[in-house]
Amino acid sequence: MTAFFQSLGMSYEWAWFVATVSGILLIALPLLLGVAMIIYADRKIWAAMALRRGPNVVGPFGLLQSFADGLKVFLQETIVPSAANKAIFLIAPVVTFTVALMAWAVIPFSELAVLADINVGLLYVLAISSLGVYGTVMAGWASNSKYPFFSAMRASAQMISYEVSIGFILICVVLWAGTFNLNDIVRAQQGHGLGILNGFAFNILLFPMWVMFLISSLAETQRAPFDLTEAESELVAGYQTEYSSMAFAAYWLGEYANVLLMCALNATLFFGGWLPPLDLPFLYIVPGFVWFLLKVLFFFFVFSWVKATVPRYRYDQLMRLGWKVFLPVSLGFVVLVSGYLMLTRYTV
């Protein structure tokens, strides 16, 4: 894209700047529109599973419901509790929303459609996703209210518990692919399963890692059955209890942007990303971003399906699953995968 703007007569510096800003807008604007649409889809899926109709009044088939909700919160008054730390209280939702968008910089939508194709892309995603808890913790502390504070403590413990196992799961993927670059990880999955299936999930050693990564993704994004940070029967609404107007909407948008990010990572790391499901020549006629989008939508359906059907865990069950099941199993698979690769791929 930089070369295109240079061809219009710009200097390299200006061409690089305009190309970078254009790339950011090409990701951020469709992502925000996508978030509005998947909130609608989420509600429709829940309704279908409960034999209800869901949103169906605002616009054709209720498609404009999310925009109506956005307009409503935009016109509401932003109320800051008198005892709150006002600066941190207002910064917290901005942190959550901004961090949710930053991780998309390294996600490859197709072979060439990636904003920053860096060699440490997976480490960047891991670092950025770990910052997401700060918005929750800041909100819980700054609200100066006991239920948001309890929620903040839960969020920090939950995030730490599942990021440890996610780290070991990603080590298995990196060992097999031999790179941290997300595009190269996608390429390494071509024909990986039985010579015809594209995806690490079809590897007998990496399939359990994908199952654990999917469950950890639910915990990392605080989705049901791991939504202990906003358990309405215990904490009213958790860390966002004291929020209203656009500050509340920023949390809502950040949560769904994170959900889409985890869906994208499931597709990229284990199901071939922008590659077609089968390594057949005629399937490559379809553009890579179409396959990527279809896989992301499939995983979002799984997330919604789980939320609509699985009851919420108790907090002790959540901690036990993270520390007593996922951590030892993922660590064991790091040993298994590295041992297998040393025996078959590398000379000891």
pLDDT averages per 10-residue partition of the chain, 348 residues: 75 82 85 88 91 88 88 84 84 87 90 87 89 83 83 83 91 93 93 86 91 92 80 68 84 87 94 91 91 95 91 87 93 94 77
Task: Give one DSSP letter per residue of 130-162, joined into a string.
Answer: HTHHHHHHHHHHHTT-HHHHHHHHHHHHHHHHH
pLDDT at 180: 93
150-189 per-position pLDDT tens digit:
888 888 888 888 888 999 999 999 999 999 999 999 999 9
Instruction: Answer for the pair 292, 223: CB distance below 8 angstroms, yes or no.
Output: no
pLDDT at 45: 93
249-272 per-position pLDDT tens digit:
888 888 888 899 999 999 999 999
Burial degree of 25 (CB within 10 A; 0-12, 13-18, 19+): exposed
Q: Which of 315, 322, 310, 152 is nearest to 225 (CA)?
A: 310
Instruction: Answer for the pair 228, 316: CB distance below 8 angstroms, yes or no.
Output: no
**Structure token digits, residue 72:** 């409503």
pLDDT at 315: 84
- Taking the C-alpha atoms of residue 173 and residue 154, their distance in angstroms, rounded to an integer, is 29
pLDDT at 231: 66
Q: What is the model's pTM?
A: 0.91
- Taking the C-alpha atoms of residue 59 and residue 64, their distance in angstroms, rounded to an integer, is 5
Q: Which of 30, 23, 27, 39 is nearest to 253 (CA)?
A: 39
pLDDT at 11: 80
Q: Give me the percent of the chain exceeding a pLDDT of 90.
A: 34
Q: What are phi and psi of 213, to 5 degrees?
A: -65, -40
